[in-house]
A and B are shown apart, each in its own frame.
Chain A
């Protein structure tokens, strides 16, 4: 016999059930409701004994909790900035750069976990048909533990950043500027950046130009056009990935009343928007390479990306429903295309590194 418990927002123990702090031996798992209502007055929980919850091994659990599959968003900018500066033979300040990388990773982790926590508390993770936030939904961790972990990483990031601020005050000004933008956008007030129209600009800024600029400055170098352009391209790709995720859930999140850009556009207009947004991204990618990379990689990479883009766009325009397997297949194709671009970009930079290595060996010999 399964035990259920329903609590309303006005109940004094509402948050303790939602956060999982109501008991030391039990965990309350929210039941997925098809009656999606934004005010969510009540939530029904399935009560389970913590000892009865099946957990995967520690090695499987840790990557899930720390969302390692998304670390690429933090690591790739570090890699790109490193290669850019190495290729330009800029003097590198390794100590502060290493600290900046650690701080960026901790910040990223802290924000990701906070995002999971907020989604869980709002109930929006139960909206997604293919939700990824398993540790909370399956009861492997309580929400309060995720919240505390999030704070721990954010505090660690702040501590690790202190020497960088002392060495390069420009980084501090940049962080303060970013916080100001977040305040203007109401990111802290609404505790999320995903559910409001045009909030992707903050994601673009945070994962793109701001992150790249911060990494560049923490190397002791000055800002340049290439860094901002590079950050802009990467931020664009990150936002595009977010659009695809929102497009995947357009049916359920529209019913829920979420007002992100994709829901605002609707299914058919979003298809057109994604198409032209992607083509504009490829054009920007081409322009960046035209000015800052080799002629071969400019033409070769753009040609390969366009070659793989064509069937994706063709098939996307044929999808007619936001539910069904053809929509999911379409989403998978988009994700594969994004992965392909990232891999090509990574290989291109590996090539630059190997060239530098050969050049260095020649010099030494």
Chain B
């Protein structure tokens, strides 16, 4: 599905640079969120136009956040290529991000579902609050996992919640219990995705070849870093911050055995979260109408994909 154009006004021909920037940005993306929308749409029997609108909305919001995020973090690379702000200037990167968010609002409001517009605006607001708060903990190596959870709930999990809830809102299904349940499931998926992504930094299940200790070297203590450094004294944390490679990091923690133990403990608490997710799915199965109950079987393996990084056969 080509999500670039929902309305004829998207990416007009007289703005070729904007169009090129978009193509660069989206070309190597996995489009996971759009795929999740496709799964939801299939089970909820949403028509093609609504599915396209939802897929475009979530990918535009996500990519707008990446455009702004790269500039805020001064990250030179995105998906292995020069980030938009380095290739097209920071000004263009900001404008392109704003443009994506503006198109989201134009297209969503033309659809006429005010609840969907309102919910999407809330999610964008949450995302920005999360970005703002995350920026405030850069260089803070004593931040706690609980504090990072709050940030990731706003920044990462909000988009997962949207993927699960928006298709139901588009279908005018506003049941309180249903949406609370989807909120919980989306939060768990978002947290798991973020924590798994943070583990890549420590070369755990790093099948994508992500740079090792990239977050730490950029001055950001991610969720695993915050978990592993609990209870360490200031000297050990100083040593950890100066780590040039994984060996240094493990030494700062107390050796490779301690590092492995911390990874296992981290996996254990996240497995508990996965169990909770499965519990919520059982409840979801009970309240969904028979026609869309099959959705649950497609949502079940998401934790394998997002946390354990197992690709679906």
| Chain A interface residues toward B at CB < 8 A | 1-2, 4, 6, 8, 31, 33-35, 37, 41-42, 44, 129, 251-252, 320-321, 323-326, 328-329
A325 touches B143 (CB 8 A): yes
B136 touches A321 (CB 8 A): yes
B180 touches A321 (CB 8 A): no
A325 touches B150 (CB 8 A): no
Stretch at the interface among B84-92, B102-110, B272-280: B272-280
A4 touches B180 (CB 8 A): no
A323 touches B151 (CB 8 A): yes
Within the assembled complex, what's the spacing in Å between the Cα atoms of A329 and B181?
36
> Of all chain A residues, which has the CB nearest B273?
A31
Residues of A close to B133: CB separation below 8 A = 251, 321, 323
A41 touches B177 (CB 8 A): yes
Q: What are 21 A-B contacts with C-beta separation under 8 Å?
A: A1-B275, A4-B276, A6-B279, A33-B184, A34-B153, A41-B180, A42-B180, A44-B279, A44-B280, A129-B144, A129-B146, A251-B133, A251-B150, A252-B150, A321-B133, A323-B147, A323-B150, A324-B143, A328-B142, A328-B144, A329-B142
A2 touches B184 (CB 8 A): no
Within the assembled complex, what's the spacing in Å between the Cα atoms of A195 and B279?
32
Bitwise, B95-124 to A at CB < 8 A (1) or not (0) is: 000000000000000000000000000000
Bitwise, B123-153 to A at CB < 8 A (1) or not (0) is: 0000000000100110011111011011101
- B176 interface residue per 8 A CB criterion: yes
Sample of 14 more A-B contacts, CB < 8 Å, known A2-B275, A4-B279, A325-B143 = A2-B276, A34-B149, A34-B191, A35-B180, A35-B183, A42-B181, A44-B184, A251-B133, A321-B133, A323-B137, A323-B143, A324-B136, A325-B141, A328-B142
Within the assembled complex, what's the spacing in Å between the Cα atoms of A129 and B147?
7
Residues of B close to A37: CB separation below 8 A = 180
Within the assembled complex, what's the spacing in Å between the Cα atoms of A8 and B184?
14
Within the assembled complex, what's the spacing in Å between the Cα atoms of A31 and B181?
14
Which secondary structure dominates chain A's binding surface? loop
- B157 interface residue per 8 A CB criterion: yes
Asked if A324 meets B137 with Cβ closer than 8 Å, knowing A35-B184, A41-B180, the reply is: yes
- B303 interface residue per 8 A CB criterion: no
A325 touches B140 (CB 8 A): yes
Residues of B close to A4: CB separation below 8 A = 275-276, 279
Residues of A close to B17: CB separation below 8 A = none
- B217 interface residue per 8 A CB criterion: no
Asked if A324 meets B140 with Cβ closer than 8 Å, knowing A34-B153, A41-B176, A251-B150, the reply is: yes
- B35 interface residue per 8 A CB criterion: no
B147 touches A324 (CB 8 A): yes
Residues of A close to B141: CB separation below 8 A = 325
> Of all chain B residues, which has the CB nearest A326?
B140
Within the assembled complex, what's the spacing in Å between the Cα atoms of A252 and B133?
12
Q: How far does the Cβ of B284 sit from chain A's closest Cβ, in whole Å?
A: 11
Residues of B close to A329: CB separation below 8 A = 142
B142 touches A325 (CB 8 A): yes
- B63 interface residue per 8 A CB criterion: no
Q: How far does the Cβ of A69 sit from chain B's closest Cβ, in whole Å?
A: 21
- B74 interface residue per 8 A CB criterion: no
B272 touches A2 (CB 8 A): yes
- B187 interface residue per 8 A CB criterion: yes
- B261 interface residue per 8 A CB criterion: no
A44 touches B140 (CB 8 A): no
> Of all chain B residues, which has the CB nearest A2?
B275
- B79 interface residue per 8 A CB criterion: no
Within the assembled complex, what's the spacing in Å between the Cα atoms of A3 and B149?
23
Residues of B close to A251: CB separation below 8 A = 133, 150
- B81 interface residue per 8 A CB criterion: no
Q: How far does the Cβ of A305 sit from chain B's closest Cβ, in whole Å?
A: 28
Residues of A close to B183: CB separation below 8 A = 35
B283 touches A6 (CB 8 A): yes
Q: How far does the Cβ of A8 sit from chain B's closest Cβ, in whole Å?
A: 7
Residues of A close to B272: CB separation below 8 A = 2
- A-B pairs, top 4 by smallest CB distance, nearest first, are A321-B136, A325-B142, A4-B279, A34-B153
Within the assembled complex, what's the spacing in Å between the Cα atoms of A41 and B180?
8
Q: How far does the Cβ of A138 sit from chain B's closest Cβ, in whole Å?
A: 15
Residues of B close to A252: CB separation below 8 A = 150
> Of all chain B residues, which has the CB nearest A4?
B279
A34 touches B187 (CB 8 A): yes
Q: How far does the Cβ of B234 sit from chain A's closest Cβ, in whole Å?
A: 11
Kindly identify which residue among B137, B144, B157, B176 contacts A34, using a CB–CB cutoff of 8 Å. B157
Residues of B close to A34: CB separation below 8 A = 149-150, 153, 157, 187, 191
Residues of A close to B279: CB separation below 8 A = 4, 6, 44
Residues of B close to A42: CB separation below 8 A = 177, 180-181
Within the assembled complex, what's the spacing in Å between the Cα atoms of A235 and B146?
32
Residue in A4, A41, A252, A320 whose Cβ sees the most chain B Cβ within 10 Å: A4
Within the assembled complex, what's the spacing in Å between the Cα atoms of A46 and B299?
22
Residue in A6, A252, A329 whose Cβ sees the most chain B Cβ within 10 Å: A6
Q: How far does the Cβ of B47 sit from chain A's closest Cβ, in whole Å?
A: 30
Bitwise, B175-212 to A at CB < 8 A (1) or not (0) is: 01100110110010001000000000000000000000
Q: How far does the Cβ of A129 sit from chain B's closest Cβ, in whole Å?
A: 5
Within the assembled complex, what's the spacing in Å between the Cα atoms of A324 and B136?
7
Within the assembled complex, what's the spacing in Å between the Cα atoms of A6 and B185?
13
Q: How far does the Cβ of B248 sit from chain A's closest Cβ, in whole Å?
A: 22
Within the assembled complex, what's the spacing in Å between the Cα atoms of A37 and B150?
14
Residues of B close to A2: CB separation below 8 A = 272, 275-276
Q: How far does the Cβ of B156 sit from chain A's closest Cβ, in whole Å?
A: 11
> Of all chain B residues, which has the CB nearest A33?
B184
Q: How far does the Cβ of A19 sit from chain B's closest Cβ, in whole Å?
A: 22
Within the assembled complex, what's the spacing in Å between the Cα atoms of A34 and B191?
10
Within the assembled complex, what's the spacing in Å between the Cα atoms of A42 and B177?
8
Within the assembled complex, what's the spacing in Å between the Cα atoms of A74 and B173?
53
Residues of A close to B147: CB separation below 8 A = 129, 323-324
